[in-house]
Chain A
Amino acid sequence: MGDGAGRASVCRQRTVKTIPITVIGGYLGAGKTTLVNHLLRHAQGKRLAIMVNEFGELPIDADLIEATQDNMIALAGGCVCCSFGSDLIAALRELAQMQPPPDNVILEASGVALPGAIAGTLSLLSGFVLDGVLVLADAETVRQTAQDKYMADTIKRQLAEADMVLLNKTDLVTPQELVALRAWLPQWAPAARVIATQRAVLDPAIVLQDFIQLEHVASGGPLQHVAGFETCQLAVTAVADAAEFARQLIQDNPGLVRAKGFVREAGGALKTVQIVGQRSEVSLAPAQARAGMVLISLAGDIMR
């Protein structure tokens, strides 16, 4: 038999630039497209690539569109929107060939797709790294859809696969209903942090880890303000094991939504730690990185 196994299995560490992908799931009408447009309007100079299953009636707000081709729309600020039809992998590989490549990919899954399955595949694709699974739920209809004769299990599986649930359109329900919804959601989305939104408006740093600013962490500069959330810095000097440190951080902070930073392991290596909901990812830190973490938590749930 071939000896390829031994050779290739060594290359685990990510040295080349990988593009983070956020998967956005949720049933029709939950606000996925609204969220995508919101992110495009607050791209802060980042080049976002939006992947949609199909170009619906209005996938992107008209004023953001610069040019339209067959399956690609060029958007303001160097962003793009592509439809991938049924060949997501080919579309992503094409995207990675763009010069320069996009900073972030946001994949808007179809209303009946299981975002966890998509995320599972994406995590195998070289050149990309999964940034998290965000599922939108329509506050007005989600409980009803979750009982639908045909869609119930699909909706519940979508929620169960979420790192974060955006409980959207909360302005359309009464405060009492919102309380009831918040009590109802965790049984179906046990792994997810739940964030209430209206018109899918929230700080992009919650959706995309690249928007978390680390520049000031080590220098003790001003803390990034993330509207509606509590942000704090953690001056971590050294940890035994970065992955274990991330697990502990998640366990100790039920309100933690996102965290990003660098920690030095006992062995001396500086590692990047990224957390979304209860998902963590550890990789080798870039050369110029300095130790320190930024934590973003649901207001009132800040770590002790």
Chain B
Amino acid sequence: MHTIYAAKKIITMNPTRPYATHVAVRDGRILGAGSLDELTGWGEYTLDQRFADKVIMPGLVEGHSHGMEGTLWSYTYVGYFDRMNPDGVIQSGVKSIAAVLARLRAVEATLSDPDAALPGWQLDPIYFNNERVTRAHLDQVSATRPIGLLHASGHIVNVNSKALELAGLLREGIDNPGVPLGEDGLPTGELKGPEVMGLVAQYVGFDQDFLAVDQAGLLNFGKLCVRSGVTTATDLASRLAPSLVTMMQTVIDAEDYPARIVSLLFHGGVSPDELIKRAHELRAQSSEKLRLGMIKVVADGSIQGFSARLRAPGYYNGAPNGLWYISPQHLEQILTQSLATGLHVHIHTNGDEATALLLDTMEQCLVRHPAPDHRFTIQHCQLADTAQYRRMARLGLCVNLFANHHFYWGDEHYRLTVGPERALRMNACATALQHRVPMAIHSDAPITPLGPLFTAWCAINRLTASGRVQGESERIGLDEALYAITLGAAYTLKLDGEIGSIETGKRADFAILEDDPETVGGANLKDVAIWGTVQGGRVFAASEL
């Protein structure tokens, strides 16, 4: 006995049969897509009409997100843009400092413990005419409880006087570039950079390992997946301590968890030998819905944080070059041992110098350990130039580009970080495809919201927040964008034989849409309404989460 779902339209992403009206599902897998007549040959069936007026696509694949997106929603949202929370409620963006304070005051009024911290997230003062948030602002909300607001970039936090006091930072004589001082000689409350932020994190409620998701957050993350049509998402990356793995297994392997999670092991904090050993142990613990054993290496920082490694001529505003987070020797060891023992590595590079180091290292490693289908993937790879894409193609590398970035920070890259010319080539989707580099595009949630259709819209239109098209020649077409958020992303995870298209034998993972992306078109793709998902044959309606 199997189920046949009827739909208004099924976009299969399978070129031999690109469209269908029905899809048959048995035991979580697809029997086939086609007309009802064609599918009756599989035997006795139940015809399910609930999607008869919907459009079905392959379940969307988010190739670079963090489970932490789910965790952050337990803090107060103070972002500039409207954003949907795990319960499907659109949190309106706050458009001024006064509005930020008003929202915090409203939350503050609900807190019964007078000492409880008040953490917020996604603050983005670049949209407030660059007026800086200060501790004086936040002290208006509370002078007695610690308040901390994490910026959207993830690189800065604003705190109130109480938080500074608890951290021992409300004093004169501080001389640190990460701690700007006011006219009174005391810190303004803005703390820049992960080290300095770490001094206050525990006092303002950000007290857990920032790479790790907690149980409630993981459940929230699953809800966000359903609401955005995602059936497979990465958690990129995590330290994956045994206790965390146990929690993730319990949550994700449960029948009611709606997404397949691919969690990558972060390279930091362990030696290359330990890393390889641990990745093999984790791989053996993979289940159908929790995939483990891949490695994430972080080579440099971020462009908007000026910690990415850029080649000459460096940062447009003259900022010194960024930071390496791994030595060439350790990178070489990790890549070589992974190639030799069949592990799959994704490497974060933001600046083009970090990408250059990776390409050089990869070339050496592949000479020693040729691997015909390694699919090592460069994550972000925001600033790569055409010559680098040519090398990626020859080295068999994939790329996962941060398409959302030019919407959220494109204007800033143009005027401040890399300047007009290089801003145009950032996240060069068209160049990647032109040079046949297998490509995905991503949100890096929680840095930007989870939502592959929005990400596809970003890659198609390349609009910045101010409404400029930035990099016309790097725009891609609707078909290419839809491929990138399904099979493209699945390919970078070596899951393209299993998910990413609707065809016989694959997992029954579908995005159920109210609108047809092909009718709506690239210009409005972000507005396509999402009904929910089918994941492994189980139906998840966003309205019933």
Chain A contacts to B: CB under 8 angstroms: 1-5, 7-9, 11-12, 27-28, 53-57, 83-90, 93, 110-112, 114, 117-118, 120-121, 123-126, 148, 150-151, 153-154
Contact = CB atoms under 8 A, between A and B. Distances in A.
B188 to A, nearest CB: 11
Contacts of B356: 150
B327 A89 contact: no
B222 to A, nearest CB: 26
A84 to B, nearest CB: 8
Given A9-B170, A112-B327, A124-B179, A1 B274 contact: no
A148 B176 CA distance: 29
A115 B340 CA distance: 34
Interface string B419-456: 00000000000000000000000000000000000000
A148 B270 CA distance: 25
B501 interface: no
A121 B174 CA distance: 10
A2 B139 contact: yes
A129 to B, nearest CB: 12
Contacts of A12: 171-173
B176 A9 contact: no
Contact of A53 (B160, B202, B269, B321): B269
Interface string B128-143: 0000000010011011
A153 B184 CA distance: 35
A126 B168 contact: yes
Contacts of A86: 194, 211, 268-269
11 contacts: A2-B143, A8-B171, A9-B186, A86-B211, A88-B198, A89-B199, A89-B201, A90-B202, A93-B202, A117-B195, A151-B328
Interface string B312-346: 00000000010111111110000000000000000
Given A28-B329, A112-B325, 20 more contacts: A1-B136, A1-B139, A1-B143, A7-B165, A9-B172, A28-B330, A53-B268, A85-B269, A85-B270, A86-B211, A88-B195, A90-B198, A90-B202, A117-B195, A120-B175, A121-B196, A150-B357, A151-B324, A153-B321, A154-B324
Contacts of B274: 54-55
A85 B268 contact: yes
Contacts of A121: 176, 178, 195-196, 198-199
Contacts of A3: 143
A8 B165 contact: yes
B239 interface: yes
Given A150-B357, A154-B324, A124 B199 contact: yes
Contact of B162 (A4, A54, A117, A123): A4
B interface residue count range (under 10 / 10 to 19 / 20 to 34 / 35 or more)? 35 or more
Contact of B160 (A2, A11, A123): A2
A5 B325 contact: no
**Could you say which of A2, A8, A111 has the most chain B C-beta atoms within 10 Å of its C-beta?**
A2
A120 B357 contact: no
B256 interface: no
A5 B186 contact: yes
A114 B329 CA distance: 17
Nearest to B298: A86
Nearest to A119: B176
B178 A8 contact: no
**Could you say which of A8, A83, A90, A153 has the most chain B C-beta atoms within 10 Å of its C-beta?**
A8
Contacts of A93: 202
Contact of A123 (B176, B209, B211, B330): B176
Given A3-B143, A28-B327, A150-B353, A57 B271 contact: yes
Nearest to A2: B143
A150 B324 contact: yes
Contacts of B161: 1-2, 4-5, 8
**Could you say which of A53, A87, A126 has the most chain B C-beta atoms within 10 Å of its C-beta?**
A87
Q: Which 3 A-B pairs have the closest CB atoms?
A: A2-B143, A85-B269, A126-B168
Contacts of A90: 198, 202
B271 A55 contact: yes
B323 A114 contact: yes
A271 to B, nearest CB: 15
Contacts of A89: 195, 198-199, 201
A78 to B, nearest CB: 25
B322 to A, nearest CB: 10
B529 interface: no
B170 A118 contact: no
Contacts of A118: 195
A87 B198 contact: yes
A46 to B, nearest CB: 25
A5 B168 CA distance: 11
B53 interface: no
A109 to B, nearest CB: 12
Interface in B160-219: 160-162, 164-165, 167-179, 184, 186, 193-196, 198-199, 201-202, 209, 211
Given A111-B327, A153-B321, A87 B169 contact: no
Interface string B354-365: 001100000000
A153 B309 CA distance: 11
A55 B136 CA distance: 43
**Could you say which of A11, A93, A124 has the most chain B C-beta atoms within 10 Å of its C-beta?**
A124
Contacts of B479: none
B414 to A, nearest CB: 26
Contact of B165 (A1, A4, A148, A150): A4
Nearest to A9: B171
B176 to A, nearest CB: 5
A55 B270 contact: yes
Contact of B324 (A2, A7, A9, A112): A112
Nearest to A118: B195
Nearest to B356: A150
Contacts of A150: 309, 324, 328, 353, 356-357
B273 interface: yes
B248 to A, nearest CB: 19
Contacts of B211: 86
B240 to A, nearest CB: 12
A1 B174 contact: no
Contacts of B193: 117
A161 B161 CA distance: 31
Contacts of A85: 239, 268-270
A5 B134 CA distance: 13
B160 A110 contact: no
Contact of A87 (B167, B170, B209): B209
**Could you say which of A83, A110, A118, A123 has the most chain B C-beta atoms within 10 Å of its C-beta?**
A110
B139 A4 contact: yes
Contacts of B353: 150
A110 B327 contact: yes
Nearest to A154: B324
Given A4-B143, A87-B198, A120 B176 contact: yes
Contacts of A87: 198, 209
B399 to A, nearest CB: 20
B363 to A, nearest CB: 14
A11 B139 contact: no
Given A1-B136, A112-B327, A150-B328, A124 B143 contact: no
**Could you say which of B161, B309, B353, B357 has the most chain A C-beta atoms within 10 Å of its C-beta?**
B161
A83 B274 CA distance: 13
